[in-house]
Structure 1
Amino acid sequence: MDEMSSTPVRKIIHVDMDAFYASVEQRDNPDLRNKPIAVGGSAARGVVAAASYEARKFSVHSAMPSVTAKRKCPELIFVPPRFDVYKAVSQQVREIFAEYTPLIEPLSLDEAYLDVTENLKGMEIATEIALEIRARIKLVTGLNASAGISYNKFLAKMASDLNKPNGQAVITPRNGPAFVEALPVNKFHGVGPATAEKMHRLGIETGADLKEKTLEFLVEHFGKSGPYFHGIARGIDNRQVKPDRVRKSVGAEDTFSQDLHAFEPAREGLQPLIEKVWGYCEANDIGAKTVTLKVKYADFTQVTRSKTVPAPLSAITDLQDLIGLLLTPIFPLRKGIRLLGVTLSSLERQAPSAEPQLRLAL
């Protein structure tokens, strides 16, 4: 623990709404309650954006092709997404957060970090703050939220998954390093499938294995992520909760278990990535004018295609249209696609009450 002694212990809460999109739909439509539902896609095409817990019992999850989801759960009900409603509920939740602290860093419409080290209620125990926040969310929205409480962002994020749904967990400075050592690296927040696969090739299976590697080794193999991995392997993450942060870019990517060879599977594979980056922009009232598509082929060569528009994108459908324009010239393929990514840049803060832009003529 000597490595942490120079850093004051903070109290960080990560709040994560439970099956957010699906739970909103079940709340608003009594006929969907206690039934397996998937938001997004359809029985014949598309991908699942969110799955209710009833659907998750059949191993249905987000980013799964709809056809696969329906095969796993024949009773699955597909529901079209309503992002305007999700954003409105997200704003209600944000207002609850603001009753406790101004230090709020949204990650998407359904999750955020809160620094409650010094809070507006004068409460000393972060677990009690998390309990109150979750109770207020339930009272105001009718929805359940889970929470993780710890002394840094990484561990708070990990803790919020431990007692889902409708629960919370604490990782203290005393047990943080041991928790990380026992954790498989593919469970680490910030370690995607491709990075986990690379770690496995290097003999890194758990946090303990990661901790054994030197900083030089991690920088050599993982570049700028090396120092981050070196820190979290020891339970150290000094990143601050940053309200009103406007990042230079926001991106998401996915490595597929089987190479993609046709336009439609590629378009469907991009949908969860589109929803993820759009959710971040919506949650933070950020507009984006530049869209970049990343394509990595089976032989690990890659290309990127970008387009910048005059005004910030105003709707997820605009982003979908733009990605479609960038994707189309990639086909027909001479080799399969193993990874797709979407990045938004030229980000700027939007006034929450701003008039919506007209749909882009793309």
Structure 2
Amino acid sequence: MLQTLAKPPLTLRLCEPRGFCAGVDRAIQIVVLALKKYGAPVYVRHEIVHNRYVVEGLKNLGAVFVKELTEVPDDGQPVVFSAHGVPKSVPAEAERRELLYLDATCPLVSKVHKQAMRHMRLGRHVLLIGHAGHPEVVGTLGQLPVGAVTLIETEEDVEHFAPANPEALGFVTQTTLSVDDTAGVIAALGAKFPALHAPSSDSICYATTNRQDAVREAAPGIDLFLIVGAPNSSNSMRLVEVAERAGAKASRLVQRSIDVPFELLHGGMNLAMSAGASAPEIIVDEIVAALRERFDLRIELVQTAVETENFPVVRSLRETPLTGADMAFVNGTR
């Protein structure tokens, strides 16, 4: 009788918090509720959140993703704006066409918009620290008139920036940046422009900070750190960088279990995993199951915060009921 070989041991440090944040949860809820209230199709301008699994799941429910409002027909069906926020010109165009629109912009992104507008009302030129071309940055730039905002990406940009009035500057940041990188840019701005005004509260969102803190705590002594997320997800890509800076020998972004480099894994390794704020928990479960098939897996939980935030959906959808299956999808567990 053949004896079953023992699986090699593998330790996995699993970060918490990880995965969906309250803003992502709210955005997905808005699309699901709109489908239940209005029926398919529900149009969604851009990816509702940066995750292929979520987008494909919503497509299967009847969502139709478009790049611009010009692709939305005048058929009376609603269009949803993504969690990243949109320039003011987008809802203005929707109103001109009398489209029914639902704004799923994360409330913390909306807070940055208000911070930027407050700087402008107080006569300050606005500096937006962020990544060029990211949908959130495009949306924030589009809140103010052309020329009222300057995008700052790096400390080198600070060196080259020469404002008309150095005494009247205020900054805001993209919500999903690396806390460490942003601190360096802000310090450089403060050193060059002592009169620089900060926003009334931190622009980087709690979920970004919490996930980076957990990764930073888990990284020392790790051979490979897996970050579940999408390559166009800013907060996920920042987690990859944070893991390596905090002591992991290597870090890799994975979208599904098929992306895990199992050929590099061996018994006795120390592995860690987290997930970006737009990555559903079902993919984490999928990867854990794949590891259990190959290894005698021991999981260590690294928890640095407990998140209780909850953002209500838009008022017009609050009376629409969600089933248990709907909530499982919204919560990323199916």
TM-score, length of structure 2 as denominator length: 0.32
Larger radius of gyration between Structure 1 and Structure 2? 2
TM-score, length of structure 1 as denominator length: 0.31
